[in-house]
Amino acid sequence: MKINSRTAAAALLALLLAGATMAAQQTANSTTPTAGQSSTTSGQQPTAQQPAVPPDKNAPEISSQETAATFKVKVNLVEVRVVVRDAQGHAIGTLKQDDFQLFDNGKLQTITRFSVDQAGVKPVIHQEAAPGIANDKLAPLPTMPERFIAYLFDDVHLKFGDLAQVRSAAQHHLQELRSTDRAAIFTTSGQNQLDFTDDQAKLREAMNQIQPRPVTGSATAECPLVSYYMASQIVNGNDATALNVVTQDALQCAYGGDSQFLTAAQQTARSSAFRELNVGNHETQITLDTIKQAVRRITSMPGQRTIILVSPGFYNPDQLFEQIAIAERALHANVIISALDARGLYTSGYLDAAPQNRPPSPRIVGEMTQYENLEAQADANVLAELANATGGIFVQNTNDLEGGFRRVATTPEYSYLLGFSPQNLKLDGRFHNLKVTLKAQKFQIQARKGYYAPKEAEDASEQAKREVEDAVFSQEQVSDIPVQLHTQFFKSGEDAAQLSVLVRMDLRHLHYRKVDGRNRDDVTVVSAVFDRNGNFVSGNQKIIQMRLKDETLATKLNSGVTLKTSFDVKPGSYLVRLVVRDAEGQMATQNSAIEIP
């Protein structure tokens, strides 16, 4: 089941960052501090089979092209989002890197990345006057989205009674959204969905249409009673007690309690367990796939991003790798997954599903209840682990669902991002246990429990493209490289305009490498345009290749370099996002809002 999307933001940007054109196109509208051609230099090192080529002394010092770039990246970096709370549940933001200890499979690791994130910090957005209008006569800044909330209803697992309650509470919560919030409605079945918008009427209508949509007509087999959890224990865990419980129920319901059919009853129990396991696995796969798609979709929105997973929980015995991969992608993109247990105050489940004219035998009710409680905990664990890994909040065992929505929609005021590079990491795909502790203070710590080692090394260029993409769809401002962002527009008709993005870079602050007597660096410049609902409209990537002579680097870079990119748009409110990154890892990002009447 796929989430419908009004834009193909991720796909478009992936093409940009991959350098889709085979031939490098020269950028005619860029200016350089030196006069000369706009050509491309390969920068390749000679190999044993290829004789060294003398450096071309007449090669241009600065050239521009639209193609892929290669960056230096930190390989095998494991990230851990940590929320630290005091006894009253308040997030603490005063801790330092030295306060933390991080263990990988019990071995203390060196924390190489550390940052403190504070929620609610508004992005810096610049606004420029149209030609002929003084800055003090600027119109109010267009109301651009700052926070995106995806309500993800697990209609595959939700029962009608629970869904009606949480749907009503969610509609009340919609009324509390701010003018800078955008919301979307997603479902695990893929039906009755709505992309990000601030239209309250459309959001309520989409919620009203959500219905339970299990893969089968009933979540449990009528005869015998066997749940997904019990089926897994029987088939995968060889649980003799679980098999005996289901066998006794099969003997009662299918064979009138006649013990001479015990063997047949056991075969019926096994058959039912296999059937229920297949159904449960399929439902879990559907749910995980939809969560993954929701993460992909919200990752392409420029701002604070939260997924609220509304679910009774679901069991996941066989697809832990997929679950952790979802959490890692969300973590890397700074997407928070919070969860609300739609069951409210927990009561019995599949025992109540038994037909009134065929209750389970009293001799097995106790065992069934024990398995039911174990299953309820296992279902909740998946929701809790997704929230813990991404810095979210998990609310369960409460009938105050409106209060629950307020809690899960609230980003913790402070969180920490820890990163480390495992030493001698084996590419064997094995699970690694993670543990975060504090050296002195005793506070509540929320963090992910582990990660899977990769089975093969990730390509460094792919990591770099992902880093640039993440920066494009963020609103964080970084200023490693001095840049200036300016926007202009020209209306070519009543319903058409050209938006120009001008980027001026100070090249003196880059970290150059000396190769063949030249000072080298490659700078990637990405300009992206988003509409008033945060949807990706268009984007462009340029690569500036610098092979500067010492004299140029010392005396001739005062004027910097200016790039111009133009986009065809319609009148409306737009957010322009600029990301600049060089091959040595420095980055600059800026935002600009523009209103085209």
Q: Which residue in the block uniquely carries the two structure tokens 């919200």?
A: 298
* Tokens describing residue 505: 């870079």
**Residues 419-442, mean pLDDT to the nearest whole number:** 89
Q: Which of 280, 389, 383 is nearest to 324 (CA)?
A: 389
Q: What's at 35, amino acid-wise?
A: A
Predicted local distance difference test score (pLDDT) of residue 23: 29
Task: Give Dmax (Cα) for the chain.
Answer: 99
Q: What's at 565, amino acid-wise?
A: T
Over the stretch 359-369, which tens digit does the pLDDT of each residue have? 666 778 888 88
Are residues 180 and 359 in contact, defined by beta-carbon separation less than 8 angstroms?
Answer: no
Over the stretch 200-247, which tens digit does the pLDDT of each residue have? 999 999 999 999 998 875 444 478 889 999 999 999 999 999 999 999
Are residues 278 and 345 in contact, defined by beta-carbon separation less than 8 angstroms?
Answer: no
Over the stretch 142-161, which tens digit does the pLDDT of each residue have? 667 889 999 999 999 999 98
Predicted local distance difference test score (pLDDT) of residue 39: 32
Sorted by sequence, the CB contacts under 8 Å of residue 199 that are 6+ apart come out as: none
* Whether residue 122 has pLDDT greater than 80: no
φ and ψ at residue 18, rounded to 5 degrees: -90, -5
Are residues 534 and 302 in contact, defined by beta-carbon separation less than 8 angstroms?
Answer: yes
Whether pTM exceeds 0.85: no
Q: Which of 449, 397, 454 is nearest to 425 (CA)?
A: 454
CA distances from 319 to 193, 233, 234, 286, 289 (A): 25, 15, 18, 11, 11
**Residues 258-267, mean pLDDT to the nearest whole number:** 93
Predicted local distance difference test score (pLDDT) of residue 427: 84
φ and ψ at residue 174, rounded to 5 degrees: -55, -35
Sign for the pseudo-dihedral over CA of 55, 57, 62, 65: negative
DSSP, collapsed to helix, strand or coil, labels residue 366 as: helix
Q: Which residue in the block uniquely carries the two structure tokens 């809690």?
A: 407
| Mean pLDDT rounded to a whole number for the chain | 82
Predicted local distance difference test score (pLDDT) of residue 303: 81
Q: What's at 370, amino acid-wise?
A: Q
**Residues 156-171, mean pLDDT to the nearest whole number:** 92
Are residues 87 and 397 in contact, defined by beta-carbon separation less than 8 angstroms?
Answer: no
Directed axis angle between helix 200-208 and helix 160-174, to 10°? 180
Q: Which of 446, 335, 417 is nearest to 85 (CA)?
A: 446
The more confidently predicted of residues 11 and 210 is 210
